[in-house]
Amino acid sequence: VVLLAKTERVYQNTRNAFATEVKRKFYWAIVNGSFDKENVWTHHFRASGIKGSKQKVSDEAVELSTPGTMAVMRVAENNGKSLL
């Protein structure tokens, strides 16, 4: 997500409300070949950098990290491409 705001106040308000307003996100991907690794993965994100502009990601929970879970499943496969 890229956020462009005219003022620092609008930026901060949107950033602070984002986690409570967005409950679920869906992503689609098309990959070459057959995909057979359906699973659920959890990573732990921790803000770093100026104003938390970067995220450090870990497989394990660390201090001040927030978990993010992703379920991956193959939706369709056609002509050597998989839709996830």
Q: What is the pLDDT of residue 44?
A: 93
Total residues belonging to the chain:
84
CA separation for the pair 10, 6 (Å, rounded) = 7
Give 23-78 pLDDT, tens digit per residue.
777 777 777 887 777 888 898 999 888 887 888 889 899 898 999 888 888 888 88
In this prediction, residue 1 has a pLDDT band, given cuts at 50, 70 and 90, of low
Q: With 0.95 as the threshold, say if the pTM is over it.
A: no
Cross-strand pairs, 12:
none
The token pair that represents 52 in the structure block: 């938390």
Least Cα distance to 43 among 72, 7, 17, 18 occurs for 72
CA separation for the pair 80, 33 (Å, rounded) = 5
